[in-house]
Amino acid sequence: MPALTPREVRLAVTESTVLGLSCLLTFWLVSDVLTRVYVDSRDSDLLGGMWATLATIFVSRASFRESLAAGLSRMSATGISFVICLVYLVFLGFNLWAYALLIGISAAAALLLGRPGDATTAAITTAVVLVVAEISPLDPWQQPILRLIDTLVGVIVGVGTAWLSLRFVHPHIR
C-alpha cells in the first residue's frame, strides 16, 4: 500500500469528522429532541436515533450529487416499506410468515416500480420495522410512521451536511 500524502490524510480526517458530527446531530435530534413530540419508550427513542444515524451514513457520499441521489434512493425504499408495513400493521401484528412475505413484497415492489437499486434497502427497512413493531410497547402500526420520520431526519442531515461540506470544507470540489 503506497504511503498517504498529507493532503489525503487531512481529507480523510476532515471527512470522517464531518460524518461523525453529522451523525451526532442526527442521533441527538431523533433520540432527544423529536421525542418531545411523541411519547415512546427510551429503547424506541434510541432505536430511532440509530435508524436515523444509519440514514445519515447511507447518504454520505463523495459528492453532493451522489449524496442527493442516495437520499432519494433511501427515501424511495423507506416509502415502499412504509406503505407495505403500515397497511399490514393497521390490521395484523407480527407473524413469522408475514415477516418473510412482506420482506419479499417490499423487494418486489421496488423492482416493479422500476427502482431495482432500492429493493434491498426496502427489504431491510421492512425487516426492521416489523421486528420493532413486535417489541415496541406502542401500537405496532405506529412504527412505520416513526421509522419514516427517523429516515427523513437522517437523510436531511446527511444531504445537508454534504451540501455544507461542498460549500465550506471543500469549496474547490464541484
Give pLDDT tens digits for 115-150.
999 999 999 999 999 999 998 867 899 999 999 999
Q: Which residues form the domain of 106? A: 11-169
132 inside domain: yes
Name the band, by pLDDT with cuts 50, 70 and 90, for residue 58.
Answer: very high
**In this predicted structure, what is the pLDDT of residue 172?**
59
Q: Is the pLDDT of residue 38 over 90?
A: no
Burial class (CB in 10 A: 0-12, 13-18, 19+), 70: buried
Looking up cell 449524496 gives: 67
Phi-psi region of 139 (alpha: psi -120 to 50; beta: other; left: phi over 0): beta
pLDDT at 85 over 90: yes
Mean pLDDT, all residues of the chain: 91
Give domain status of residue 150, yes or no. Answer: yes
With respect to residue 56, please indicate whether it lies within any of the assigned structural domains.
yes
**pLDDT above 70: residue 47:** yes
Residue 3 lies in a domain: no
141 domain residue, yes or no: yes
1 lies in some domain: no
31-43 core/surface letters (b: 16 or more CB in 10 A; e: else): beebbeeeebeee
pTM: 0.90
Contact 94, 60 (CB under 8 A): no
- What's the pLDDT at 170? 63
Number of domains in the chain: 1
The answer to whether position 174 is within a domain reads no
Asked whether residue 129 is domain-assigned, the answer is yes
Q: Has residue 99 got a pLDDT over 90?
A: yes
